[in-house]
Each structure stands twice: as structure tokens, then as C-alpha cells.
């Protein structure tokens, strides 16, 4: 059921002696217990602080992650917008190229029309010059040229008709050229409008590119911060582990030498007294860390559960007292009981295994006590706890 090494026993005996010697020089109540509680409290505080630090850093990492996700979502929206604008710009570039081709075509047409006008004009001038020459030679010349009378009579009219016809054609051609030039001007205006639109879109796209770049920088900065926080978290986690380890080690050290003790304590405690008179002081009254059961002097005190004796000595305040370590329950919680103010030297020694119900000593009033009573303490995981939560009351004694 349990096995205790000789080495463990010697170590425990030495520790108990050291604690007693430490206690004798001090004048407060239960110095050993107070000192250990302070140490444990300090370790618990350190662990809590390490946990708090780690929680803080983890919260920062969460914030970093949120910021990165937000920036990425924003950036993705901007990229979508930028792509749409790029598509619009492509369409405009096509339209501009198309317009330029149309302008070029119009220009060709204008030039062609001008060439026609010029040719027609040259032709007209040549004929007019010829007519002039005929006219200048006078009626004889006309006469000699004319092949018949009719021709002679209608010559002037013909000359006039030709001139009018030429004028009409030239005017039509000129109008056509002007129309072409106007069309060309309209196309040039259209091109200018398209180019302006493109410039606006280019500018908008540039702006978006800058915003996207800025978000890249923001994301990089946030990621660097997150990485630093993750490193800090690793350090904080390490510190928390160390603090937890230190606390565990301390709690274990309080039962040093008995780590390999395995008790079948489902913590079915029994009352350590067969009978008592009344509770003379409850746990928690004026900082009282145990329960006082007033009982007849000489009433036997029994082990509340199986265990091993870790202290059996005299103390100025506890008087003759015994501490029994009961090991851990199935949940890993450790238990120890302490029985103080015994009438005489306890009947058990340090390192001795005791069974539940085994005699430890007798009710008395040694140490800081004003009457026969058992001062009973219970430690759970090294912390003093109200024994009444775990240990049944004795039966009330009937006395004459």
C-alpha cells in the first residue's frame, strides 16, 4: 500500500527538526504554518502574474490578427476596384485608338477632296483662260471658230453656263470638304474627351495603387508586431510554466520524502475523537486556522485517515502535536491533518505509518491552550482548510 525509504524518513526527520528549531525562536501563533503559507502565497501570486502577462500578450496577438485581417480585406476590395478601373482604361485605350484611326481616315478624305477641288479649279482656270483668249480676238475670231450660226448666237450664253456649272460644282466640293473637316474636328473633340477620362482613371488607379502599397506596409508592420508578440508569448508561457512548476515543487516539498507514498484514502475521513463536549472555536473565528473541539482530558486522538506521521513533537504554541500526511486522492489533491495540545508526548514517531483510527496521543492542554481540547487542522494541497468540510464531528460526550 505504501513504501517509505529510509532516506525519505531521515530527510523528513531532519526537516521536521529544522522547522521546530525555526519555530522556537518566533513568538507568533503556529509559525511553521504561517511561514509556509506566505511562501506558497508568494508562489501563487507569481504564477497568477505570469498568467496575467501571458493573457495580455495573447490579447495583443488577437488584436494583431484582427488588424491584419481587416487590412487584407480592405486591400482586397481596393484591388478589385483597381482591376475594374484597369478594364475601363483598356476600353478607353481601344476607343481612343479607334477614334484616331477615324480621324486619320477623315484627314485622308479631306486631302482627297481638296485635291479634287484643286484639280477642278485648275481645269476651270484653263478653260476660262481659253475662253478669254477667244473673246479677246473679237467677233471675227468667234466667227471663224463657230461652225454654225446657232453656235455663234449662243456662244456667250454657253460661256456663262459653263462658268455657272463650274462654280456650282466647286461650291459643292468645298461644302463636302468643310463637312469632312467638321467631322474630323468632332472626332478630335471625342478623342480629347476620351483622353481626359483616361487621365482621370489613371490618376484614380495611381491613388488606389498608393493605398494598396500603404496597406502592404501596414500589414507588414502588424505582422512584425504579431511575430514579436508571439516571441514574447513564448517567453511568458515559459515563465508561467516555471512559476507553476515552482508552486507544484513547493507543495510537493512540504511532504518531502513522502512523494512515493500511496494511500488508499478516498478521503473517507473519520472523526479523530470518540467523543467531545462542544466546539470551543470554529475555523475562521478571529483568523483561527483549525477547529477546536473541547473534550475530556485523556480522550484518545485517532488518525482521521491512513497516512504517515510527518511531525511528532512539542511546540510552544501547538504543544505536543502530530501531523499526518495522507497522500493524494484520485484527483491529485493532497491532504494532511494536524492534532495539537496533546496531554503528553505523542505515541507515534515521524515516518511511522498509521492506519485510520490508530491512536496518536491524548487530549490535553499543552502549548498555547487554556483548557482540554483538540485543535485540529486540515491541509488540502498545502492550504489550511476548514476540517469540518471533510471530517465528521465526534459524538457528544455524556458526562455526569
| Per-residue contact flags (x/-) with Zn ion for residues 62 to 91, judged by CB under 5 A | ------------------------------
- Nearer Cβ to Zn ion, position 82 or 280? 280
Residues that bind Zn ion (rule: CB under 5 A) add up to a total of 3
Stretch that binds Zn ion, among 180-188, 217-225, 358-366, 371-379 (CB under 5 A): 371-379
47 vs 375 by CB, closer to Zn ion: 375
**Residue 299 to residue 275: CA distance in whole angstroms:** 8
Site for Zn ion contains 377 (CB under 5 A): no
349 phi-psi bin (left φ>0, alpha ψ -120 to 50, beta other) = beta
Q: Residue 237 or residue 288: which is nearer to Zn ion going by CB?
A: 288
Nearest-approach distance from CB 352 to Zn ion, in angstroms = 24
- CA-nearest of 355, 90, 376, 350 to 205 is 90
Residue number of the CB closest to Zn ion reads 375
Nearest-approach distance from CB 297 to Zn ion, in angstroms? 16
**Nearer to Zn ion (CB atom), residue 11 or residue 281:** 281
Residues 320, 339: Cα–Cα separation, whole Å: 9
Shortest distance (Å) from residue 340 CB to Zn ion: 7
Integer Cα distance of 394 and 374 in angstroms:
11
Task: Mark the segment that binds Zn ion (CB under 5 A) among 11-19, 97-105, 213-221, 375-383.
Answer: 375-383
274-313 mask for Zn ion (x: CB under 5 A)? ----------------x-x---------------------
Q: Measured from the CB atom, is 206 or 297 closer to Zn ion?
A: 297
Q: Please, are residues 201 and 83 in contact by the beta-carbon 8 Å criterion?
A: no
CB of 314 to Zn ion, least distance (A): 16
Question: Nearest approach, Cβ of 283 to Zn ion (angstroms)?
Answer: 9
Q: In the set 375, 377, 379, 382, which binds Zn ion (CB under 5 A)?
A: 375
Query: 290 or 382: whose CB is closer to Zn ion?
Result: 290
* Part in contact with Zn ion (CB under 5 A); list of ranges 152-160, 230-238, 246-254, 373-381: 373-381
Task: Enter the C-alpha cell of residue 256.
Answer: 518531502
3-state secondary structure the chain: CCCCCHHHHHHHHHHHHHHHHHHHCCCCCCHHHHHHHHHHHHHHHHHHHHHHHHHHHHHHHHHHHHHHHHHHHHHHHHHHHHHHHHHHHHHHHHHHHHHHHHHHHHHHHHHHHHHHHHHHHHHHHHHHHHHHHHHHCHHHHHHHHCCCHHHHHHHHHHHHHHHHHHHHHHHHHHHHHHHHHHHHHHHHHHHHHHHHHHHHHHHHHHHHHHHHHHHHHHHHHHHHHHHHHHHHHHHHHHHHHHHHHHHHHHHHHCCCCCCCCCCCCCCCCCCCCCEECEEEECCCHHHCCCEEEECCCCCEEECCCCEEEEEEEEECCCEEEEEEEEEECCCCCEEEEEEEEECCCCCCCCCCEECCCCEEEEEECCCCCCCCEEEEEEEECCEEECHHHCCCCCEECCCC
Binding site for Zn ion (CB under 5 A): 290, 292, 375
Amino acid at each position: 500500500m505504501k513504501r517509505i525509504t529510509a532516506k525519505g524518513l531521515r530527510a523528513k526527520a531532519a526537516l521536521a527538526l529544522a522547522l521546530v528549531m525555526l519555530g522556537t525562536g518566533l513568538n507568533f501563533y503556529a509559525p511553521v504554518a504561517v511561514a509556509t503559507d506566505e511562501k506558497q502565497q508568494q508562489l501563487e501570486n507569481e504564477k497568477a502574474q505570469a498568467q496575467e502577462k501571458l493573457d495580455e500578450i495573447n490579447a495583443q496577438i488577437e488584436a494583431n490578427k484582427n488588424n491584419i485581417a481587416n487590412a487584407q480585406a480592405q486591400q482586397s476590395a481596393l484591388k478589385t476596384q483597381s482591376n475594374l478601373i484597369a478594364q475601363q482604361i483598356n476600353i478607353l485605350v481601344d476607343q481612343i485608338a479607334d477614334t484616331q484611326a477615324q480621324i486619320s481616315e477623315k484627314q485622308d478624305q479631306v486631302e482627297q477632296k481638296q485635291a479634287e477641288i484643286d484639280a477642278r479649279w485648275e481645269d476651270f482656270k484653263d478653260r476660262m483662260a481659253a475662253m478669254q483668249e477667244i473673246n479677246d480676238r473679237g467677233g471675227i475670231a468667234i466667227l471663224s471658230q463657230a461652225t454654225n450660226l446657232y453656235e455663234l448666237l449662243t456662244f456667250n450664253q454657253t460661256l456663262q453656263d459653263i462658268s455657272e456649272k463650274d462654280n456650282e460644282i466647286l461650291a459643292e466640293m468645298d461644302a463636302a470638304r468643310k463637312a469632312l473637316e467638321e467631322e474630323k474636328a468632332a472626332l478630335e473633340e471625342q478623342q480629347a474627351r476620351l483622353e481626359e477620362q483616361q487621365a482621370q482613371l489613371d490618376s484614380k488607379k495611381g491613388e488606389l495603387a498608393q493605398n494598396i502599397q500603404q496597406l502592404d506596409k501596414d500589414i507588414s508592420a502588424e505582422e512584425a508586431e504579431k511575430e514579436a508578440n508571439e516571441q514574447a508569448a513564448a517567453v511568458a508561457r515559459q515563465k508561467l510554466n516555471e512559476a507553476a512548476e515552482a508552486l507544484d515543487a513547493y507543495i510537493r516539498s512540504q511532504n518531502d520524502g513522502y512523494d512515493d507514498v500511496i494511500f488508499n484514502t478516498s478521503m473517507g475521513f473519520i472523526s479523530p475523537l470518540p467523543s467531545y463536549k462542544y466546539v470551543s472555536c470554529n475555523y475562521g473565528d478571529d483568523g483561527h486556522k483549525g477547529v477546536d473541539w473541547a473534550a475530556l482530558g485523556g480522550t484518545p486522538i485517532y488518525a482521521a485517515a491512513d497516512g504517515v506521521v510527518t511531525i511528532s513533537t512539542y511546540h510552544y504554541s501547538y504543544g505536543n502535536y502530530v501531523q499526518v500526511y495522507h497522500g493524494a486522492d484520485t484527483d491529485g489533491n493532497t491532504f494532511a491533518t494536524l492534532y495539537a495540545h496533546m496531554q503528553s508526548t505523542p505515541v507515534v514517531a515521524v515516518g511511522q505509518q498509521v492506519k485510520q483510527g490508530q491512536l496518536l496521543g491524548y487530549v490535553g492542554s499543552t502549548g498555547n491552550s487554556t483548557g482540554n481540547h483538540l485543535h485540529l487542522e486540515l491541509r488540502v494541497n498545502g492550504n489550511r482548510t476548514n476540517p469540518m468540510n471533510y471530517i465528521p464531528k465526534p459524538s457528544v460526550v455524556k458526562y455526569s
